[in-house]
């Protein structure tokens, strides 16, 4: 049993997988058709990119052997904020599909 907290408890392959799942499609969407996207789609892709970059940061810190830095309060808060940003944007996306879009 480890004494790690927060994102330090995630396994390294999961971190790399989350970085790929969230980051790569967001970068592709933002670079492929940024001018033709609505503001809501741009913000949604920025939220996905934020989560992908955070998970990439976590995976690289583990790769460097500095897993203990992921248990720091600042890193945990940054991770929670990025995932909360994504959750809010997913709710806006759901509202868009239901015809309740305000953004």
Q: Is the pLDDT of residue 83 over 90?
A: yes
Higher pLDDT, 88 or 33: 88
Tens digit of each residue's pLDDT (9 = 90 or more) over 29-76: 888 888 888 888 889 999 999 999 999 999 999 999 898 888 888 998
pLDDT of 1 reads: 46
With H, G, I as helix, E, B as strand and everything else as coil, classify residue 47.
helix
* CA dist list (Å): 38 to 15, 17, 23, 28, 66: 30, 28, 19, 16, 39
Could you say which DSSP state residue 92 is in? H
pLDDT at 93: 84
């Amino acid at each position: 049993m480890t004494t790690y907290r927060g994102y330090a408890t995630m396994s390294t392959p999961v971190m790399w997988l989350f970085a790929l799942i969230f980051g790569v499609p967001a970068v592709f969407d933002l670079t492929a058709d940024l001018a033709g996207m609505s503001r809501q789609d741009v913000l949604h892709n920025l939220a996905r990119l934020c989560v992908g970059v955070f998970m990439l940061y976590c995976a690289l810190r583990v790769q460097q052997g500095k897993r203990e830095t992921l248990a720091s309060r600042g890193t945990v808060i940054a991770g929670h904020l990025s995932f909360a940003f994504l959750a809010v944007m997913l709710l806006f996306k759901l509202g868009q599909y239901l015809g309740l879009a305000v953004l």
